[in-house]
Amino acid sequence: MNTLLNNPAEFAALIQRFFLERLIQQRNVSPRTVEAYRDTFRLLFGYAEQCLHKAPAQLTLNDFNAELILGFLDHLESVRDNCIRSRNARLAAVHSFSRYLALQSPPALHLAQRILAIPSKRFEKPMLGFLSREEIRAVLAAPDSDTWFGQRDRLMLQVLYNTGARVSEVIGIRIEDVTIDSAPCVRLHGKGRKQRTVPLWRETAIQIRKWLQHQCMQTDKPLLPNRHGKPMTRANVAERIALAVCRAESQCPQLCGRHITPHSFRHSVALHLLQSGVDITVIALWLGHESSTTTHGYIELDMQMKERALKALNSPATKKARYHPSDALLKFLEGL
């Protein structure tokens, strides 16, 4: 047996080269991708230490096998209560390292191939959650405009709905990314370092202008800061949305018991654009979808579109009646 497979230093060196050379230098992946892969291997090494009673620095290539990965995936679901999506995301990170392992360490090729053969799990895709226009209006008006936090939250909710941005894109907006003069718009920094510009409604631009007039912030500062002047976190945004929804329930009872997330605003603006007759390719550009196929899911939500299609199609059991003119003049013209 090849000694490299039982050498802890070889496995540790491969892990380090995978992150520093493959991910950061060669592929130039985003910091979020590095963090996601890092967290996956932290969890994996913690699980391996429990099962194999070895510290991460003592693990070898022989320890990194399909049995360990399968046990780790089961651990994620059964012990950590991760959903299948999270389980598949962790597996994708392990697969990425396994492909690198197969190229860099031929003696470990058989180990990498068995890991790469582990499939992603299929899962039920739930219907997308969205808010009606009435519900949106109630939530947007919920924060108290007499307080600093309420003014910020109103602007945050307005920008979320106007742009259909992901929560990471909203908290990443800097003041220099906003144009509120001739043609109001905002530049969003999306997934995979892709940027896009989204126009702003007049109401949104006015709200941003009023917000900036009362704030003494530099252009490189976040548009939506926390109390310490730093960018809001995902958890902070979710918490403020939950608070706004709770306050809006008195004006809009149908919000009671609903789980509203930042992504609910993204789904809502997409559906409302679709109902307004905006072409689906434009909506895809608005949301920053790499493919318009992703945007097709919003058609499933639009019951009005389905009802129009239903009216255009007769039921198979319905016989289409033939027209018979009732007027003598019409009969004459019909007989020509």
Residues annotated as catalytic are 166, 191, 263, 266, 289, 298
Under 8 Å CB-to-CB from 212, ≥6 apart: which residues? 175
* Amino acid code (one letter) for 95: H
- Strands (E) in the chain, as ranges, are 178-179, 185-189, 195-199
Dihedral (CA of 46, 51, 55, 56) sign: negative
Chain centroid to CA 134? 24
Per-residue buried b or exposed e for 248-272, using 16+ beta carbons within 10 Å of the residue's own CB: bbeebeebeeeebbbbbbbbbbbbb
Contact by Cβ (8 Å): 189, 164: no
Kindly report the number of other CB atoms within 10 A of residue 301's CB atom: 18
